[in-house]
Amino acid sequence: MQQIEIHVVPFDSPVAQRLITATLADLGTRYGGSGDETPVNAAEFVSPAGAFLVAHLDGQPVGCGGWRSHGDQGDTAELKRMYTDPQVRGRGVARAVLAAIERSAREHGRKRLILECGDRQPEAIAMYTGAGYERIPNFGFYADAPGCLSFGRTL
């Protein structure tokens, strides 16, 4: 059986940046352009305001995702840069990363996790809804963009 290990790493670390580059390439293929123009700063993913996690399967980095604080109340986290290498999709990597992100956000006092997703990511939508996420009003950089879907879940 393959072992999934998940570790917090700096957002700007080489391993995180390789996976983020793959994330943006995947989104670019689906939506065009650079994939995601949302302003993101590595400092947003530093504890206690956020975290970035990388999943390794049999020692190889194969997935990532992070959370950053959202809003002024201090109780909401936003999921960003969730990705799984296409060669290992269907093996539970994304679900494991999502669970680790939720746990990290909860441990840092967040009570809710929200995210933006596009309508050309049916596998992601299925995973989020299967994990208990529900549609919420659109927010953020793509709030008014066609095809933007926003989801949220109480942690």
Predicted confidence (pLDDT) per residue in 5-16, tens digit: 999 999 999 999
- Domain tally, the chain: 1
147 located within any domain? no
* Percentage of the residues of the chain whose pLDDT score is greater than 90: 90
Q: Output the pLDDT for position 36.
A: 87
Mean pLDDT computed over every residue of the chain: 95
Q: Report how far residue 113's alpha carbon sits from residue 67's, in angstroms, rounded to the nearest whole number.
A: 8
107 located within any domain? yes
101 located within any domain? yes
Query: Strand locations in the chain, DSSP E?
Result: 4-8, 50-57, 60-70, 76-84, 112-118, 134-136, 148-154
155 located within any domain? no
pLDDT one-digit tens code per residue, 89-147: 999 999 999 999 999 999 999 999 999 999 999 999 999 999 999 999 999 999 999 99
Domain that holds residue 89: 4-115
Residue 95 CA neighbour count, 13 Å, CB half: 11
109 located within any domain? yes
Q: Report how far residue 50's alpha carbon sits from residue 45's, in angstroms, rounded to the nearest whole number.
A: 4
Q: Report how far residue 133's alpha carbon sits from residue 98's, in angstroms, rounded to the nearest whole number.
A: 11
- Centroid of chain to Cα 122: 15
The CATH number of the domain holding residue 64 is 3.40.630.30
47 located within any domain? yes
